[in-house]
Amino acid sequence: MSSTPPVQEREWQERKIRELQTLIEKSSNYTRLVMGLGYGGFVAVWSGTKQYLPAKYAVLSALLLLVSVFLFIAYLVLEIAVFSHWNASVARLWNADEQIRAAKAEGLTKRFQRISWSMAIVWPPIFYLCVGTGFGGVAILAWGFGRALHAMW
């Protein structure tokens, strides 16, 4: 049996959940920042080194970058759409009749939890595909650049 009263236990749990949500949000934002900067760097390196690659490898590295960027941006657009819809739903909730607001809020919360869970399931495979295709493109560029450097010496 817990030594803390139920109200304190619940408040403690809610505080821990909020802290965890904040940590997840910060981590997610950091990941997006790093990936965005990585894509910018990749494009800069690709534009400067593609002339050292045979044509088919230049196209392959560009294709890998395109797949990676497309998946990343598609997920972000989906996420923005979901949260925009959520914000509109919350705004409508505040304008609802007070007598039905609690029931609508509960339904909205459950729906948002399901959607958030779905997004959390979808993100890891997309992330790994983005990273895999991005690093694949970088590997091709590094190989071509190294080959060009070797030929110079």
**138 falls within a domain:** yes
Do 140 and 60 form a contact (C-beta atoms < 8 A)? yes
The domain in which residue 83 lies consists of 6-152
Answer whether residue 71 shows pLDDT above 80.
Answer: yes
Entry pTM = 0.69
**12 falls within a domain:** yes
Answer whether residue 132 shows pLDDT above 90.
Answer: yes
pLDDT class of 90 with cuts at 50, 70, 90: confident
**106 falls within a domain:** yes
pLDDT tens for residues 17-49?
Answer: 778 778 877 887 888 888 888 888 888 888 888
Cα angle, residue 130 at apex, residues 129 and 131 outer, rounded to 5°? 90
Number of separate domains in the chain: 1
**1 falls within a domain:** no
φ and ψ at residue 83, rounded to 5 degrees: -70, -30
